[in-house]
Structure 1
């Protein structure tokens, strides 16, 4: 490797940050996703062999198109949150506090109710616990994480036990209930202590970053006006409660559209499956450790043996909640549903934000933005695959000719006052 890249050198107009020149086409592809302020903003980070080679951002972080995205802007990444929550569990397993093949109830006694005494940690982390349907009676309780953990503990599993069925929202409370039973701490605290602190980044929070944090949450720019559908509020609970409701039953709750508008009330809850606020840099750094034997940027996150277990075998079983797509969930991460399109594993969120590891190539990717349901939806969800191919091509070029790392452009994990002094 050569010297460190200069800040902002050779980047497309409107893009800030730094990137090794081998990734020029990937950066241009990323920049093209944000052609106008009405399309918001985002950030892209790439690590190679545990070292940063791309850290760029562009566009706007607010709905009015007045506040530029910057080095410490984070986005709510929706289901990409699950990858972070899963990594928390792997940190605990790495220390011998959790065994993947032990029953969850061995650690979380209340979970053994209603026939769930033999559900294992591995089953739960593979979305096979039979608890994917969200209780539509939860209502406002959806924002009370302790109450939702209690609901998960008391609920009976369905006939989907043992079959892959995406636990779109319940997955987070299942993991937080397990983690709380083992550590006594909630997931908001564990995201910081187990992931952000070891990686030395401020850019990773569960929910809204607290006052004084360097990381600032971008506003979701769409949708802010959702037209009412006659009869929806009356029919939706009935549909969601049906065993065949699939992803709708896994996601629906009253007020689901209101909590993502305005000041985004969803951010004031702890939903470890949906409401992390993270920078692309922090997400990529976490996956860089998974793609590099457990270490990134000189910091060890997991042991090499634990990371080896995370890869899993390709499983083409159809997911019952995701219209039969074979997501190959394994210990909290998924593969691409289309074999050969994007190797490795990670987790994608609604709208397309995601973190991804390609261990065979030593590549890790973090991509975040603040669009949700916009005309770009299909482009956000599937179109990034083209940029990912350009990243892989750039990595091959970088390996062939040597590459430059980029500087750490965001805020580090805040040290206690005594340590800082």
Structure 2
């Protein structure tokens, strides 16, 4: 808990309980520094930040502070790909090899763009050893993924491509546009919307980043789980995390070269600067919320996805047991969709969570854009209590 907690920002009347839960995250749920934002029908109704951005120096979390959001980056990548699809630059039903001919090797010629975006390609881990420098460079891992054989029949199952998603989709976008994904995102999305959101951070922005803080697992967490099904899954996850040879560990760490989540690894300026469209987006809650608000409606006269494009992006591509993360997952074209374990606001919700707590999503029915960014990495085995509490309060406020 932080002594003398300072929460800054604004809320609209009716959203007081959302602020209360945000403060409770610091007092009872372990937050150190964080930001929270909510748009409703194009209006910013919650814009809060507080705590400490950098415990090593005591630097406070300020309005312009940003943080690395891990897989919440995938949501931004999905927005971009679906935007390019609406422009006719990419066709979700077309084979990836139409844009990237080398990808057709080893029976991958029929994998579609939609399958790639919904974790069905069978490429969650590179088949050849790669160093961290090679992963950050991008090209070496892209070449390995292009020539390797899928680990399962593409389209027959799905398994979370925790980090390879970014290199695969990044190369797809690069081949289709002639520009890197980070550049296209800046030109097509972040710039026009006025977002503080980078996939490949400029060097002059490093000073505004709140370094990640490793989570501390609760040794009594398993004992506290009473639901037998939830406990069984948690036991399997713990076992997979403890086994470096498991698909879970290999996918989350890229065979050990890029451990995720891991504060020391991901706080490096070289990691900030690389373009890892699966995991190294750097932003704040306001920009995450604004991004999704511009998907479900207009924000200051701008909308990034039409109703038709968003409806197509939200069509369920896969649902069920995930071959990598063990539990149930459900995906549209790049977006995580609502599940029993992570309901968000309901069936109209779409977005993406990040390891350790970050979350961005939109909700069609309520026209909500939501963003939460923090530096303290969570270590819960049964979901993220900080965002769950805030979303519950938001649901009540909207009702």
Q: CA 1:297/1:379 → structure 2, altered by over 3 Å: closer, same or farther?
A: farther
In structure 1, the partner of 2:143 is 150
The one of 315, 335, 338 equivalent to 2:340 is 338
Q: Would you say 1:190 and 2:184 are equivalent positions?
A: yes
User: Residue 197 of structure 2 aligns with which residue?
Assistant: 204
Q: Which residue of 1 aligns with 2:247?
A: 246
Larger displacement relative to structure 2 (307-316 or 278-287): 307-316
Question: In the alignment, is residue 30 of structure 1 matched against residue 22 of structure 2?
Answer: yes
What's the offset of the Cα at 1:171? 0.4
Paired residue for 2:159? 165
SS of 2:249's equivalent in the other structure is helix
| CA-CA distance at 1:217 after TM superposition | 1.2
1:261-286 CA-partner distances (Å, limit 9, x unpaired):
17524223221101000111111111
1:296-315 correspondence runs (5 A) = 296-313=299-316
Matched residues in 1 for 2:58 and 2:7: separation? 16
Shift of 1:37: 13
Deviation at 1:188, TM superposition (A): 2.0
Q: In 1, Cα distance between the equivalents of 2:40 and 2:337?
A: 20
Is 1:57 aligned to residue 62 of structure 2? Answer: no
- Say whether residues 1:180 and 2:170 are aligned partners: no
Partner SS state of residue 14, structure 2: helix
* 1:62-77 matched pairs, under 5 angstroms: 62-64=54-56, 66-77=58-69
- CA-based RMSD of the aligned residues comes to 2.8
Contact 2:319 2:331 in 1 (8 A): no
Bigger Cα displacement from structure 2, 309-318 vs 41-50: 309-318
Contact 2:34 2:372 in 1 (8 A): yes
Of stretches 283-292 and 121-130 in structure 1, the one that deviates more from structure 2 is 283-292
- Partner deviation per Cα, 1:382-402 (whole Å, 9 max, x = no partner): 442121011122123xxxxxx
Deviation of 1:329 after TM superposition, in Å, equals 0.8
Aligned position for 2:264:
261
Report the equivalent of 1:4: none
Identify the residue that residue 20 of structure 1 maps to in structure 2: 12
CA contact (8 A) 2:211 2:263 kept: no
SS at structure 1 position matched to 2:323: coil
Structure 1: 5+ residue runs without aligned partners? 1-11, 225-235, 397-421
Q: CA deviation at 1:352?
A: 1.1
Structure 2's unaligned 5+ residue stretches are: 217-239
Give 1:373 shift. Answer: 5.1
Alpha-carbon distance change, 214 to 302 in structure 1, aligned in 2, over 3 angstroms: farther
Partner of 1:317, secondary structure, is strand
Distance in structure 2 (CA, Å) of the matches to 1:91 and 1:335: 18
Cα distance, 1:260 vs. partner? 3.5
Cα gap change, 1:346/1:133 in structure 2, threshold over 3 Å: closer, same or farther?
same
Mapped pair 1:393 → 2:396: yes
Structure 2 counterpart SS, 1:21:
coil
CA, structure 1 residues 392+214, in 2 after alignment: closer, same or farther (shift >3 Å)? farther
Q: In structure 2, do the counterparts of structure 1 residues 26 and 373 end up closer, same or farther at CA, with 3 Å as the change threshold?
A: closer
Greater Cα shift, 282-291 or 330-339:
330-339
Q: By how many angstroms is 1:64 displaced?
A: 2.2
Cα contact 1:139–1:254 (8 A) shared by 2? no
C-alpha distance in 2, partners of 1:192/1:330? Answer: 23
Tell me the CA shift for residue 302 of structure 1: 1.9
CA distance in 1, matches of 2:75, 2:337: 12
CA distance in 2, matches of 1:383, 1:22: 20
- Work out which of the residue numbers 324, 346, 349 in structure 1 matches 2:327: 324
Q: Normalising to structure 2: TM-score of the pair?
A: 0.84
CA distance in 1, matches of 2:351, 2:44: 18
The offset of 1:65, in angstroms, is 5.7
